[in-house]
């Protein structure tokens, strides 16, 4: 980590308004920033990327169905003509609660209200060799990496003489039976069943295994029993080897070792088995739960601190029905941001803050073509109708008319053609000669 920069971030317009600094422009941070655009604050949004990422569709980037740009939205575009809302691309290191000052790689920033909305990253639960060899999927870059990796594995496999020796390049193993794992496994199986055999007539794809491993006894643990059963059946019908009650012991890059079961050969282990909140240094140990979440009160305030708020995956907020905190999903972050936005605007007018109550709007997951499961508060359904619901809800949730339009077209194309056409190995090959050393040092 770099030392905190010693100068203030330059070129922030002077303002008499109190300053809200938002760390992270994911679902929570971006929603809050948009909520405050016309509020009585100067709002500064910081993110390490210059775009908002729509995580629920990462798996479609990984499986060549969508382009990264379809599910990424330029943050500067959100803040056109919003003089009191400023975006900066920056990495946040730490903050000082007494000085009310935040340190970043581009300088420091003084705040009146600080909102921590950094989201979560992949959790390998301390297993270094899995961390070293597995592939995560918590950013657009990682999703694109998965796509490139799988395509280049087949381009390699085709040059190997013996069927036996190709197996580890062809097999794909996914760990984690939550929505991400289920959606990835389903999409990979569809590629194997419908697309890859046409692309690689020399390879025998009946030898390619798609394996989904879950440590617990059920897939989609947070959903209804109907959804769990249906998703399992859908995956099995697509030819996914679903292994429940199975723990990954280790992975060396070529073979997955399982507890009490035969190992599986694969160069491609996709890790969707856990998340941990991103960390910014500034609060005492007493504020952190063992899982890394930060305890907040019913107003998303860090207890005992002045003007520090936490949203979404990072926040641990207890309610009657959620004694261990809310689930780490987009809906919670969005609703908390909505409530906090109202409270911050009210605060400036001397109003009392409103408590947050999570309203579970339901959940859904898609397994494949015409196959999805939906749990709504009053109804559960599966199959074609669930799939159409899933498509509609995700299309509506994505930011920007152009993104909606292009995703709709991509989906229509993929549906009609059975041929997601983004099987391009556009690797980050080119680096300007004078920067090659720089790149190496960065890593």
Chosen residue from 20, 23, 32, 140 binding a copy of itself by CB under 8 A: 140
Query: Minimum distance from CB of 90 to a copy of itself (Å)?
Result: 8
Q: Is 141 in the site for a copy of itself (CB under 8 A)?
A: yes
Query: Minimum distance from CB of 345 to a copy of itself (Å)?
Result: 24
Instruction: Considering the complex, state which of residue 276 and residue 423 has its C-beta at the smaller distance from a copy of itself.
Output: 423
Q: Is 207 in the site for a copy of itself (CB under 8 A)?
A: no
Within 367-406, which residues bind a copy of itself (CB under 8 A)? 400, 402, 405-406
Instruction: Considering the complex, state which of residue 253 and residue 325 has its C-beta at the smaller distance from a copy of itself.
Output: 253
Within 1-30, which residues bind a copy of itself (CB under 8 A)? 9-11, 13
What is the rounded CA–CA span in Å between residue 442 and residue 435?
11
DSSP string covering 108-122, please?
A: EEE-SEEEE---EEE
Chosen residue from 76, 324, 354, 357 binding a copy of itself by CB under 8 A: 76
Chosen residue from 139, 335, 366, 382 binding a copy of itself by CB under 8 A: 139
- Whether 28 and 109 have beta carbons less than 8 Å apart is answered as no
Place of tokens 């030898």: 207
- Reference 175, options 224, 210, 140; nearest CA is 210
Instruction: Considering the complex, state which of residue 336 and residue 403 has its C-beta at the smaller distance from a copy of itself.
Output: 403
Instruction: Considering the complex, state which of residue 198 and residue 354 has its C-beta at the smaller distance from a copy of itself.
Output: 198
Within 232-261, which residues bind a copy of itself (CB under 8 A)? 253
- x/- map, 276-315, a copy of itself, by CB under 8 A: ----------------------------------------
Instruction: Considering the complex, state which of residue 303 and residue 431 has its C-beta at the smaller distance from a copy of itself.
Output: 431
Q: Is 49 in the site for a copy of itself (CB under 8 A)?
A: yes
What is the rounded CA–CA span in Å between residue 424 and residue 440?
25
Instruction: Considering the complex, state which of residue 99 and residue 405 has its C-beta at the smaller distance from a copy of itself.
Output: 405
What is the rounded CA–CA span in Å between residue 167 and residue 203?
10
Token duo for residue 117: 């909305």
Residue 157's SS3 state is: helix
Q: Is 273 in the site for a copy of itself (CB under 8 A)?
A: no
Q: Is 72 in the site for a copy of itself (CB under 8 A)?
A: yes
Q: Is 81 in the site for a copy of itself (CB under 8 A)?
A: yes
Chosen residue from 158, 215, 244, 397 binding a copy of itself by CB under 8 A: 158
Query: Minimum distance from CB of 390 to a copy of itself (Å)?
Result: 23
Place of tokens 């694109």: 144
DSSP character for 287?
G
Query: Minimum distance from CB of 29 to a copy of itself (Å)?
Result: 17
Q: Is 202 in the site for a copy of itself (CB under 8 A)?
A: yes
Length of the chain: 443
- Whether 88 and 45 have beta carbons less than 8 Å apart is answered as yes
Q: Is 175 in the site for a copy of itself (CB under 8 A)?
A: no
What is the rounded CA–CA span in Å between residue 425 and residue 63?
12
What is the rounded CA–CA span in Å between residue 202 and residue 197?
8
- Whether 296 and 302 have beta carbons less than 8 Å apart is answered as yes
Chosen residue from 88, 167, 230, 326 binding a copy of itself by CB under 8 A: 88
Q: Is 194 in the site for a copy of itself (CB under 8 A)?
A: no
- Whether 54 and 10 have beta carbons less than 8 Å apart is answered as no
Number of H helices, E strands in the chain: 13, 24
What is the rounded CA–CA span in Å between residue 343 and residue 325?
21
Instruction: Considering the complex, state which of residue 321 and residue 434 has its C-beta at the smaller distance from a copy of itself.
Output: 434
- Reference 187, options 198, 168, 174, 176; nearest CA is 174
What is the rounded CA–CA span in Å between residue 421 and residue 427?
16
């Amino acid at each position: 980590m770099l030392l905190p920069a010693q100068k203030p971030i330059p070129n922030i317009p002077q303002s008499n308004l109190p300053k809200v600094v938002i760390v992270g422009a994911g679902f929570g941070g971006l929603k809050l920033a948009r909520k405050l655009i016309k509020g009585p604050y100067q709002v500064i949004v910081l993110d390490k990327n210059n775009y908002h990422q729509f995580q629920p569709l990462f798996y479609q980037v990984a499986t060549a169905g969508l382009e990264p740009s379809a599910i990424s939205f330029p943050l500067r575009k959100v803040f056109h003509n919003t003089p009191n809302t400023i975006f900066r691309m920056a990495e946040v290191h730490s903050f000082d609660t007494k000085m009310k000052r935040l340190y970043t790689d581009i300088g420091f920033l003084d705040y009146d209200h600080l909102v921590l909305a950094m989201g979560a990253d992949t959790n390998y639960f301390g297993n270094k060799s899995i961390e070293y060899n597995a592939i995560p999927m918590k950013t657009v870059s990682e999703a694109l990496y998965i796509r490139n990796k799988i395509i280049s594995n087949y381009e390699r496999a085709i040059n190997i003489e013996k069927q036996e020796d190709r197996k580890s390049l062809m097999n794909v193993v996914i760990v984690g039976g939550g929505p991400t794992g289920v959606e990835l496994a389903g999409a990979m199986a569809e590629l194997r069943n419908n697309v890859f055999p046409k692309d690689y007539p020399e390879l025998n794809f009946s030898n390619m295994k798609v394996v989904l491993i879950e440590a617990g006894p059920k897939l989609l643990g947070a959903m209804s029993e109907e959804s769990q059963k249906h998703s399992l059946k859908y995956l099995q019908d697509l030819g996914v080897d679903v292994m429940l009650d199975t723990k990954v012991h280790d992975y060396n890059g070529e073979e997955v070792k399982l507890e009490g079961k035969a190992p599986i050969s694969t160069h491609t282990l996709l890790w969707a088995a856990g998340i941990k909140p991103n960390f910014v240094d500034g609060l005492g140990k007493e504020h952190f739960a063992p899982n890394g979440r930060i305890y907040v009160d019913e107003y998303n305030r860090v207890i005992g601190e002045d003007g520090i708020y936490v949203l979404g995956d990072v926040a641990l907020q207890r309610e009657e029905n959620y004694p261990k905190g809310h689930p780490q999903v987009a809906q919670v972050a969005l609703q908390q941001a909505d409530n906090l936005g109202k409270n911050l605007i009210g605060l400036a007018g001397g109003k009392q803050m409103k408590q947050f109550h999570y309203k579970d709007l339901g959940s859904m997951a898609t397994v494949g073509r015409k196959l999805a499961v939906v749990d709504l508060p009053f109804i559960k359904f599966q199959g074609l109708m669930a799939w159409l619901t899933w498509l509609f809800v995700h299309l509506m949730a994505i930011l920007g008319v152009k993104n909606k339009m292009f995703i709709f077209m991509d989906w229509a194309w993929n549906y009609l053609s059975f041929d997601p056409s983004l099987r391009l190995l556009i690797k980050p090959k080119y680096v300007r000669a004078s920067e090659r050393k720089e790149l190496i040092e960065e890593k």
